[in-house]
Amino acid sequence: MHGMTAYFVRRILLVPLTFLCITFLVYTVLRLVPGGPVEEAKRQLKARAAGEAGGGGGGRGFEAVELTEAQVREIERYYKIDKPIPVGYAIWLGVYPDEEVGFSGILQGDFGRSTKYAEPVLDVIVSKFRISLFFGLAGFFSTWLVCVPLGVYKAIRHRGIFDTGSSVLVFLGYSIPGFVACLVLLVLFGGGTYFNLVPLGGYRPDPEDWDALSFGGKVLAQIHHMLVPVFGYLLGHFATMTVLTKNSLLENLGADYVRTAFAKGLPERRVIFVHALRNSLIPVTATIGHAFALIFAGSFLIEQVCNIQGMGLLGLTSLRARDYAVVMGTMVFGELFFLFGNILSDLIWAAIDPRIRFGA
């Protein structure tokens, strides 16, 4: 037990180091790439100055306006990029004092202010995170509830009619991206062009319609809006999770301990579902870390198609708008979810099979 405790302590201690390396790399890239909020602010100031100057020359009048050095320095100071990259990163992190507000970074809960939404970054992220968490958890549990039993039954009926027929669906699911499936479903079953069975998108009905519903009506309406996007999330992991479960169970069914259990006369159901399946879930749980990151980050393609204002779409629109404060904020939470999700995977490994001992 001492070895496992030391292993998890090391894993937890590596989280801050990994976090610092990744955030510093992303911060550096965002500072070095062309464009950004500073250039956007300069463009807006130039446009305003050109308009006040008459702007009769059209585009030439716009280009003729130049910002003074004092204006440029003020913009850079406002966005806290007037310092060298290491100093700016330390200020953003909250371990180096800002000249005006002192220590005020992510360690103090200050993620900055969004240039696109004109709100604190943390408020923007929290409002979108609720939506991504809802759909992410629904997709996560539906994936496990569908793919693991399907993989188990395919292993039990290996090379049978069910296994062969379901393999067609598995490979079909592997070849079709989730967002494409959502788009096809919306075209066929939404809007009334062919059928009108699912809503065209959105997290839930419009506020006025939502408030008028009873509790049961709200539950049904929410499920109705979840059908297409959750199917897209499920399809993204359908083939991988199903095949991984099947192959892992087949490997364990051929192991010596399973043959010994059958030789001792144990019931087939007990051998499969108690002994073999338990060990077969170990490699499947390795996907939990990645799944945790997706629960937070969402899928911007599915959210774009289904018109869901979640974290994935927030990250995409913020990157397009060069709203780097929001980009860094979403990256921080996504990375933390991924790192602690991997630690959770290791804990589940040890819980499933107490014989597992992680190396020193």
Q: Residue by residue, what is the 3-state secondary structure of 66-134?
A: CCCHHHHHHHHHHCCCCCCHHHHHHHHHCCCCECCCECCCHHHCCCCECCCCCCEHHHHHHHHHHHHHH
| Interval 217-255: pLDDT, tens | 889 998 999 999 999 988 888 888 999 999 999 999 988
| Interval 21-77: pLDDT, tens | 999 999 999 888 877 766 776 677 667 766 665 555 544 444 555 667 787 777 777
177 with 195: CB under 8 angstroms?
Answer: no
d(C-alpha 97, C-alpha 290), whole Å: 35
Model confidence at 90, pLDDT cuts 50, 70, 90, reads very high
d(C-alpha 115, C-alpha 117), whole Å: 6
Q: What's the whole-number average pLDDT of the chain?
A: 83
pTM of the predicted model over 0.85? no
Mean pLDDT of 125-143: 88
d(C-alpha 148, C-alpha 154), whole Å: 10
The residues that bridge with 190 in the sheet, in sequence order, are 198
